[in-house]
Structure 1
């Protein structure tokens, strides 16, 4: 399968990232791969924030996965810092290869390295396969999430 590199995303990766974000029924409704300008603006904002890590997994020169790791310092839990893993996507050709496990393990280790006491993530209620995947990695479905579109 070739060597895997996990590295920060660059502007050159944005088209591949957006394609992965749009490559499922939910993402197809939310993403616009034909206009990358809002994604490029978002990447600039992310790059200015030291608590944001937009990462890609690259194999043999090809972006095959992405995730965003956000560090959140807080007062609760005795002043704990937590991390949130978001927008995890694995290229369709790589699903089932173990890449998702490697990528999440990287995010957990990086969270630990950054002094986090808790790692959390959300997954759309319809993504039952993803729920099983995260549970296999030790995550627990412990909360009910709410969103408000603005």
Structure 2
């Protein structure tokens, strides 16, 4: 995709160093993908040496930061789902569902990166039409990730409002 940045790829040895010999099923999805190194304000992948288990949420692996670095992106080692975690000073972290799995997370990153580029080039009805088409595509790709109250739902609405 035009403008997509360099990728980060994790190896089995990277994950074994963190998780032990038996890489859980939820983390195995990371072996099949290349994470974009950085996508606008949406995501920045950790290099392999920085990936680590969450201290607040055992069973989750931190793989990067999102939304201007405000939240950590974590993968659930049991089912492979992707979550955002925002540290709250003096309180419980805010946790939000992002995607069903890492593959769908990457689809969302790619499509919303494309929308951000499109917003810079297109105006009015043409942008709105294309943004609506992307929203429908994302609902098809991972409907739970587009439901009200999810991490991506707010971003999709912001992108649609740019028309």
TM tier relative to shorter chain: 0.3 to 0.5
TM (norm. structure 2) is 0.31
Higher fraction of helix: 2
- Which structure has the higher relative contact order (CA within 8 Å, separation 6+)? 1
TM (norm. structure 1) is 0.32
